[in-house]
Amino acid sequence: MQARIPADLDRKESEVYRQLDPERLPRHIAIIMDGNGRWAKRRHMPRAAGHRAGVTAVRSTVETAARIGIQALTLYAFSEENWKKRPKSEVDFLMRLLSRYLKAEVPTLNKNNVRLEYIGRQHELPEDVQERMAWARTNTGHNTGTVLTLALNYSARSELVDAFRSMVDTAAQNGGIDHLLIDEEAVRSHLYTRDLPDPDLVVRTSGEMRLSNFLLWQLAYAEIYVTSTLWPDFRGVHLLEGIAEYQKRERRYGGLNHGDSPAHSAPAKVTK
């Protein structure tokens, strides 16, 4: 049966969407947005121009994800390492860009029924940016469609440290260290992403093959899709291409290939 094409997909997007099985869309897609600097360098422009163009890519990707009904989209916008290792002028520019994006984008997020969330150590960000973030979250809080999570000042290792601290604090408040229970479910329920399913698909742009300290716990079984497209050139159609590739993969979660029963993979029995 031909999939019904969601309204508002453009011609190229519709062509790729037609190849997809709408019953097997990834529930949660995580994206490592990379290549803004290289995009600008190729055009002999300052890095800031690459970041500015990156906002257009964010807009297109979020709209397409929302239109096809992706439950959760998480964008790695700013790592803890970015914050510490980039020149102050670039960090300041990124903060202003984020602030402007949040102010301008709320009506479009509402139009697309997108709810904003954040992960990362927000308290270390400039106060005015924190206020703008809180404002945008509140003003999209009623939406019931895609949850758009921006990873800001985020590090997966810090997230795990924060989760362990939170587990210890919770035990201390509930009768002391004897009440500390550590198992996978306990860790999961203290992560920043505790209200989201783990990503099924992680996309990285600009051809790099690294996870760069992004959602290390949550990506344990995610399919990885790397595209050479630089982030500022990325659009909704590229997201759909990533989903098409994801749908070609067979997810095994450490098990056997579909159709391979243990009997097939066991060593042949020696008979006389």
Would you count residue 199 as binding ligand FPP (CB under 6 A)? no
| 120 part of the interface to ligand FPP, by CB under 6 A | no
Q: What are phi and psi of 83, to 5 degrees?
A: -60, -40
3-state secondary structure of 210: coil
Taking the C-alpha atoms of residue 91 and residue 132, their distance in angstroms, rounded to an integer, is 17
Work out whether 48 is an interface residue with ligand FPP (CB under 6 A). Answer: no
The count of residues interacting with ligand FPP (CB under 6 A) is: 19
Binding to ligand FPP in span 225-264, by CB under 6 A: 231
17 or 39: CB nearest ligand FPP: 39
Is 174 marked active-site?
no
User: Which residue in the list 36, 82, 112, 143 is annotated as catalytic?
Assistant: 82
**Exposure string (b/e) for 187-210, b if CB count within 10 Å is 16 or more?**
beebbbbeebebbbbbbbbbeeee
Question: Does the footprint of ligand FPP cover residue 80 (CB under 6 A)?
Answer: no
Say whether residue 125 binds ligand FPP (CB under 6 A): no
Beta bridge partners of 115: 147
Q: Indicate the burial class of 111 (C-beta count within 10 angstroms; 0-12, 13-18, 19 or more).
A: exposed
- Of 54-62, 167-175, 190-198, 263-271, the segment contacting ligand FPP by CB under 6 A is 54-62
Go through the chain and tell me how many residues it has: 272
Tokens for 198, please give them: 């783990």
- Measured from the CB atom, is 190 or 205 closer to ligand FPP? 205
**Which residues in this chain contact ligand FPP in the complex, by CB under 6 A?**
33-38, 51, 54-55, 58, 75, 77-78, 82, 97-98, 101, 150, 231
Catalytically active residues, by annotation: 34, 82
